[in-house]
């Protein structure tokens, strides 16, 4: 079997279904924002933070360990299953115990039952996580991707239907549980693995030792990404958190959709090129350039076109979310551009650098964020977290550039063109919305405006970048063969 084509097929399935899933999620978010009260969205966000904090340890790093396990996969799989199921049961119990404390922490008793019901998802995760890992280990990308997409569709349909019926926050809660259950059922239906009643302590210790560094890094990332909502929930109200969380999600969906499939691919590439510094430098700068091409336009479009879009879609309901949305678009842009630095650190065998940066970033964020939120409210907190994110994005880039021998001028040259082009196209779109009010005063007209300028942006990209133009033409004609060829080329260079 041609490994390049096999990987290409997996990339197409995971990437394609991921983008479909992201699109469904964005549409669902926009619909829920219309039918669910803002305060209920805030309650769900705060409850999700509590469950998310507990979820940090639900996998114990065992998924990565099982993928790399080669000695006795059957015994390791059974051991992993029972470890994860036991962890899921324990975390569900902890959710029930933590729920009253969370309600007191955020001064909102409505949070307690939401946390308790959401905590049931840990059991279903424990039942399916091993099957999911083994499908990934076996290269069954299509099966995994379709199971995940099915769960997203279940969530979207149930959440919207219940929201229209007036279930409020419970439309989100029931939909999330249904999503987890549907994915678990799909995993059991398609996976040949059935756990045997065996548990090997030596295997368990070996698996648990693997990947602890990555687990620590994940914990730091999650705390940093959720600290803003936790602080706002403590010092303001669920209503304020609802506005902020909606703005945060909208601002970060586009860059996340663009980069989510890229980061897992670039890590092994950077790792293979660690002995070829000149080639690694070239590939890294090319990565940054193309990420910026994609995310700069989206960020500027959110800043300039987000306000009229929200007013058109919701009237005055979400007007308080507009200022945070515009600031957080900068947050999303800097996160996406600085994202590959972490892959460079790991690829060069220096994961400790990523951990150091996240520890420093956490120290800079808290407790200062608490006092800023108390004194200056949601906009003060938004500006502060965006500023801290920008500062440490710059630190990460400088550190990476030193490792790779990249001069500041080289780096700025790689992002200056995409940033300028993105700002120009988005600005023209804003001027067009003012000059042609019929386009900005109806949803079909606004959609036509957005599609038109997105097409213009893509056209300019293809016109200005000959490499991108040739690869786009090849990809359109022969998608699987083109991706397989690019992967094979990367393997030869590595």
Residue 309 vs residue 38, higher pLDDT? 38
Q: What is the pLDDT of residue 211?
A: 56
Q: What is the pLDDT of residue 491?
A: 42
Query: 104: which residues sit within 8 A by CB, 6+ positions away?
Result: none
Least confident of 89-98, 276-285, 422-431: 422-431
Q: Alpha-carbon distance 169 to 171, whole Å?
A: 5
Per residue in 338-378, pLDDT tens? 988 988 887 787 878 888 999 999 999 988 999 999 999 99
Q: Residue 133 — pLDDT band, cuts 50, 70, 90?
A: confident
What integer is the mean pLDDT of 405-424?
88
Q: What is the pLDDT of residue 286?
A: 86
Q: What is the pLDDT of residue 476?
A: 65
**pLDDT value at 216 more than 80:** no
Per residue in 76-105, pLDDT tens? 777 778 888 888 999 999 999 999 999 999
Residue 161 vs residue 211, higher pLDDT? 161
Q: Average pLDDT, whole number, for the chain? A: 82
Model confidence, pTM: 0.77
Q: What is the pLDDT of residue 318?
A: 93
**pLDDT value at 55 more than 80:** yes
Side-chain-facing half-sphere of 289: CA atoms under 13 Å: 17
**pLDDT value at 110 more than 80:** yes
Which of 347, 295, 332, 262 lies closest to 14, judged by CA? Answer: 262
Q: What is the pLDDT of residue 272?
A: 74
């Amino acid at each position: 079997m041609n490994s390049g084509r096999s990987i290409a097929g997996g990339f197409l399935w995971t990437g394609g279904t991921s983008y479909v899933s992201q699109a469904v999620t964005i549409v669902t978010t926009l619909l829920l924002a219309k039918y669910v009260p803002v305060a209920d969205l805030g309650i769900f966000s705060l409850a999700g933070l509590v469950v998310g904090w507990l979820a940090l340890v639900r996998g114990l790093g065992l998924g990565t360990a099982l993928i790399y396990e080669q000695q006795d996969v059957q015994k390791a799989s059974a051991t992993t299953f029972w470890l994860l199921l036991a962890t899921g049961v324990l975390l569900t119990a902890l959710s029930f115990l933590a729920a009253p404390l969370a309600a007191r922490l955020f001064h909102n008793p409505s949070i307690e039952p939401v946390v308790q019901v959401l905590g049931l998802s840990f059991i279903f995760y424990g039942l399916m996580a091993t099957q999911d890992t083994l499908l990934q280990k076996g290269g069954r990308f299509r099966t995994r991707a379709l199971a995940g997409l099915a769960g997203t569709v279940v969530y979207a349909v149930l959440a919207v239907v219940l929201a229209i019926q007036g279930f409020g926050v419970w439309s989100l809660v029931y939909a999330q549980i249904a999503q987890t259950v549907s994915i678990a059922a799909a995993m059991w239906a398609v996976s040949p693995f059935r756990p045997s009643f065996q548990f090997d302590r030596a295997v368990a210790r070996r698996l648990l030792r693997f990947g602890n560094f990555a687990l620590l890094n994940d914990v730091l990332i999650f705390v940093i990404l959720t600290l803003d909502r936790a602080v706002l929930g403590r010092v303001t109200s669920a209503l304020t958190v609802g506005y902020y969380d909606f703005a945060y999600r909208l601002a970060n969906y586009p860059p996340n959709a663009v980069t989510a499939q890229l980061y897992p691919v670039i890590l092994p590439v950077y790792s293979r090129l660690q002995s070829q510094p000149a080639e690694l430098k070239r590939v890294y700068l090319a990565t940054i350039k193309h990420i910026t091409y994609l995310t700069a336009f989206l960020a500027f479009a959110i800043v300039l076109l987000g306000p009229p879009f929200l007013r058109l879609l919701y009237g005055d309901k979400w007007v308080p979310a507009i200022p945070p949305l515009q600031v957080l678009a900068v947050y999303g842009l800097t996160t996406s551009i600085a994202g590959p630095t972490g892959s460079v650190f790991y690829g060069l065998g220096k994961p400790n650098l990523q951990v150091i940066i996240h520890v420093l970033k956490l120290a800079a964020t808290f407790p200062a964020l608490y006092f800023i939120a108390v004194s200056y409210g949601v906009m003060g907190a938004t500006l502060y977290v965006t500023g801290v994110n920008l500062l440490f994005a710059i630190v990460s880039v400088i550190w990476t550039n030193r490792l790779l021998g990249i001069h500041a001028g080289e780096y700025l040259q790689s992002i200056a063109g995409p940033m300028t082009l993105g700002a120009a196209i988005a600005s023209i779109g804003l001027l067009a919305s003012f000059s042609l009010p019929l386009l900005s005063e109806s949803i079909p007209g606004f959609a036509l405006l957005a599609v038109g300028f997105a097409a213009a942006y893509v056209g300019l990209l293809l016109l200005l970048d000959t490499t991108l133009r040739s690869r786009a033409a090849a990809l359109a004609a022969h998608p699987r063969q083109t991706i397989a060829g690019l992967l094979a080329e990367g393997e030869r260079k590595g």
